[in-house]
Structure 1
Amino acid sequence: MPNASESPATSVLFARQPIFDASLEIVAFELLFRPTDGGPMPISFDGNRATSTVLLNAFTQSDLETVSQGKPLYVNFTATTLRDDLPFDPACLVIELLEDIPFDDAIRDRLVLLRQQGFTIALDDYAEEDIEHPYLPLVDIVKLEYPHYCDDAFERIVQQLRQRYPHLKILAEKLETATELSCCQRAGCDLFQGYFLARPQIVHGATLVTDRIAILKLIATLSKPDVSVREISTAIEYDPTLGVRLLRLVNNTKQRQADITSLEQAVGLVGPQRIRSLATLLALSEMEDKPESLPQSALARACLCRELAAGDPALAEKAFISGLFSYLEAFFDRPLVELVESLPLHASITRALLTRAGPVGALLETAIRLESESWDEITWPRLQLIGIQAEDVRAADRRARQTARELQANARP
């Protein structure tokens, strides 16, 4: 466990690039992932870890007011991180999604929900020749990749967007000359971004190193039915830096109405769901010494377990935790039984991890069989006892395979 008295190390938190309005006033910032040591970008790029790291560094490691100057922060999201609940203030965050994220009903419903929650959605890197993209009716901002178009084509796409989607704000990005800026201003764009206006600037800050076991204990505690505020705050007390992150999260939201005097008060303000989201982000981001594919594999198995139990929300939550924690040995290089015994897991999850017993164990075992394409080895009678038929498994497998493809697509250089 980190020593709370040690001075935290200073490292790169992210890069920050301004976004301007038509008067060339800064109205927002985009936050970009950069390696914490200030070195070159990794050859193999994990988009999920990058998003998690930027969000955590902006909202739980730094002074948000200093970073944002009271303006919205744009952050790139992958298909996977888009699905996760977000413990952040919608007024502070603009969700950028890549235009090549596969579109389906689940993504559409998620975007509708996020906008209902107050989040602003931006469609990034738009370079289409027409305006038939399925995301356009569901977003608030479209970022046009100016270098992709000639001047006439750019003006035409702006006009078409204005006519079809008058609610959209149009942001011209990747501008590198005064001539390009003038062209975009004449075309009637609302927002502007690019090296000509301002290059991304590195933001340094004090790094909080969170104990991995403390994160796992917190996730395990949150998986318990009817978990109390006191139990959650006790789990957070395992590592002082978890408490610091929680307090900063409270401070960076509009929910705080008085000074926080205890962790229990902070937990009560934030709530279990947002703390679970914070803990999941931490678990995915702070694995620097492991292959970048490992968190993706763990998350893919967890999602598959959850999809298998899609008809039973309580069972699905336990199945998700069992899938995620089934990779503990690979993360920690320690025996699974030793790790599980140190965590306050629900008994059904412990049995599933160690012996594959019970309904949760049946789902975990099935997920592992599906991963290895061992369809004939699935124990169908166990699944039928919990109301899961072969067609349910096929549908869950299809959804999970789509998730896996999205994970690979977003692990891009």
Structure 2
Amino acid sequence: MAGIKLNANDQNLPVLMARQPIYTKSQDVAAYELLYRDEQGNFIQGLKDDEATLAVLINSYSSVNANNQNENVPFFLKVTDEILLSNQLPDLPRHMFVLQLLAHTDVTPALINRLQQLAKQGYRLALSGFDPADTKFYPLLKVIHVLKLDIQLIGLHRIPNLVKKLKPFNLELLADKVETQDEFRQCLEMGFELYMGYFLSKPCLVRGKKISGNKVVLLQVLNELNNPKSSPQSVEEIALKDPELTYKILRVVNSAAFNVQKEVRSLSHAITLLGMEQIKRWVMLFLTKSEGGKPLELTRTMLVRARMCELMAEILEYETPMDFFIVGLLSQLDVMMDIDMSSLLEQVPLQLNVKSALLEREGPLGQVLKEAEIYETGEFDRLSDLLDRPFYEVAYRHSLKWADQVLNAMHT
């Protein structure tokens, strides 16, 4: 859990890279769409001639923790007709890549023939940017496997009739730009099998909802840990109000997550051995435990964002990187708890600069948080370049790996 020094040349990819999850009906991760941009905004050139780049992608960006195990899920990789027809596409692992055609694809007999060849070779093909009014797309429907429909562009009211028309093609339908849980439910009823969008990133507000009892104890422990006069015994006294919490912390500390020479039998003993900062971090992590059927991916996103904020703070040599971790983690606690952020913060004992960062994205804490949020959505042109560009990608990739390690430790 300790900080690490990042080197911009540490397995540096030739592009900025992020990932956006593609969900199943049960809101499990079925795949990730790769969001990338090199200096010219081109295809990942390194894939053509650098096997190490491919290994980094698969080992870092496709990893997902499910059922207490690390598994790899496929990528949706955007490709142009120029790349396909000029044979620039490397020999990619068929089970790991879905080739995604774009809206501006020039549909020609030569392209159709090339797609048929790729399908015979075992590649799965997807199409994004489908416009029902544009007849150029219809020849592709006989070749592709997955059709991505932008529900905001097409309009939800038009989707049911469109789904009926598409049924003879036996396509796997992916609802794109799903922004709310209500839109997700509507698409679910319409028969979509896959889903993309930020519907997991916004709270379903429940009027008057309070923080659950378990979370209250966690926040009380966190507040005590921030008290300069606190001791291992005073922290333990609060944590013992929730025996399950105490057990979880001890289980984590005794797991492979820490190199502890002897078994830790009490929380005060764990704090004495590991220090307040380490225990504080784990209390923060337990705050991310899913409530109300929230999917595991939301917890993963919270962890990735928290760690990336902390790493960026370390690179920038800011004091108290832990504060940046806290801001990153809490920035989606409103989504986890379905409580408006302003109402949530009224119930949480946090420093004023942390609250300002969460509500207004103000100060150094808010600036770093905003950068992390922009990066994870793949809107790389909006980055204010607090860091040299390669550091963003390396910090993001380290955060992905770290999040999976933590999820394993939390569920051991």
- State the TM-score, normalized to the length of structure 2: 0.41
- State the TM-score, normalized to the length of structure 1: 0.41
